[in-house]
Amino acid sequence: MTAHPSHTLVSHLALAMIAALTLNACATTGSGKVAKLDDPVLATEQFPLQAQSMTKSISLRINPNGLSANQRTALDLVAAKANWINGEPVNVEIVTSSDPRAISTGRMISGYLSDRAVSDDTLSQVSLQEQPADIVTINTVYYRARTYACNETWENITATRDNKPYKNFGCAINSNMAAMIADPRDLDHPATATAVDTTRKADVITKYQKGEKTSSATDDGAKGSISNAIK
């Protein structure tokens, strides 16, 4: 029995479709070689989450009698920006020469800032060969999350024939996410672990090994309501 021509055509088309699906995102170049198509663009690739930084520096001359009144005033301004109580997300870098007196002065400045609520994980000290021996430089590094100007031009969102992402794809998502991040430094580098973090981690692991709840104990005082708060 001879197959009907239309049935043969349908069979050939079905086989062609199956073969196309098995290529797994590959295409044939002009030379007949199979080339892999580009991977799809993710929302975070065109407009990545980034931290922008700006550095402001002051230079203090080393005095044999310690910090002068003007130098204390300058350091107080740094502490006002960097303290953990109401300061900004900044890092403070103290730069000295390799001279022992300069290093000692740098440590004294670090202690002065620590006494004014500047966290130790915010402070760092480094010695550079090119740094003048009688000068200590204090770099205050400010951070902010980068945001983007989105949708400045209209796009034809129905143009999908090339299967390419729109120019603004991911812009609003990442700009809004950047605006919600409390500490932009987290986008630039991991936060330094402190002794409190180590203690908390050890406490959680110990409770887990004992089969106890790892969450904090319930505060009974927080269960009060307006109806029984005043008696």
**DSSP secondary structure, 41-63, as one string:** PPHHHHS---EEEEEEEEEEE--
For the chain, what's the residue count? 231
The CATH number of the domain covering residues in 47-155+163-191: 3.30.1330
Rounded to 10°, the helix 69-82/100-114 angle is: 50
58, β-bridge pairs: 138
Which tokens in the block code for residue 19?
A: 């073969």
Q: What is the pLDDT of residues 48-103, one digit of tens each?
A: 888 888 999 999 999 989 999 999 999 999 999 999 887 788 999 999 999 999 99
- Identify the H or E element spanning 214: none
Tokens describing residue 183: 């500490």
Q: Strand 135-145 to strand 90-96: parallel, antiparallel, or no bridges (unpaired)?
A: antiparallel
Question: Could you tell me where the DSSP H helices lie in the chain?
Answer: 5-21, 43-46, 69-82, 100-114, 171-180, 185-188, 195-209, 226-229
Boundaries of every domain in the chain: 47-155+163-191
Q: Are 118 and 84 in contact (CB under 8 A)?
A: yes
pLDDT grade, residue 231 (50/70/90)? very low
pTM of the model: 0.61
Q: CB–CB of 113/75 below 8 Å?
A: yes
pLDDT in tens, 145-181: 888 888 777 777 777 777 777 788 888 888 888 888 8
